[in-house]
A = this chain, B = another copy of it.
Amino acid sequence: MELLKKKIREEGIVLSEQVLKVDSFLNHQIDPVLMLEIGRTFAGLFADSDVTKVLTLESSGIAPAVMTALELKVNVIFARKRKSLTLRDGLFTEKVYSFTKQEESEVSVSGKFLSPGDRVLIVDDFLANGEAALAMARIAMQAQAEVAGIGIVIEKAFQPGGAKLREQGYRVESLARVASLGNGQVLFA
């Protein structure tokens, strides 16, 4: 997706060979017009996948996921990172390890919102080690729903998540694939 790559080139900050900071348009400040374009692109890519629900993880996945759901005319669920007082009955819960935050957390989806027969499109802002996407796929599995596909805004193709997911048979569509972050430069795959 050219518009996204342009934005990454212009505003992305390479913090290390592993970390690309895109907090000016994706995961702290958000460019809503770019999010709408991202939503339209995912909706186009998965137009024939009979998606019934979009599933993401709070917080940075929400904006692209909501726009994708808007375009696909389905609801979106954001998995919550821990149990709140108003969310306790019948949860699907999975563990997810964040390498960025160096901690394990639990993510949960209420059992009311995923059912057998659902076809789930998983959407997330980044794909690195695949931990978050795999946890969401396991949540869909708990609900006996199908994973229709996985839509990623930025895939760090030099990390193992993408290969892991594709080996397991998931259809992964990444709108920007970063091949490396060496020398302070973003190189696309």
Contacts and interface: CB of A to CB of B under 8 A. Distances in A.
Interface of A: 15, 19, 21, 23-25, 28-33, 35-36, 58-59, 62-63, 66-67, 69-70, 73, 75-78, 80, 84-87, 100-102, 109-110, 112-113
Contacts of A87: 23, 28
Copies per complex of this chain? 2
Of the candidates A31, A32, A113, the one having the most CB atoms from chain B within 10 angstroms of its own CB is: A32
Given A29-B76, A32-B75, A62-B66, 19 more contacts: A15-B86, A21-B86, A23-B87, A25-B75, A28-B109, A28-B110, A28-B113, A29-B110, A30-B77, A31-B75, A32-B67, A32-B69, A33-B73, A36-B70, A59-B59, A59-B62, A62-B62, A63-B63, A84-B101
B33 A78 contact: no
Contact of A85 (B78, B85, B101): B101
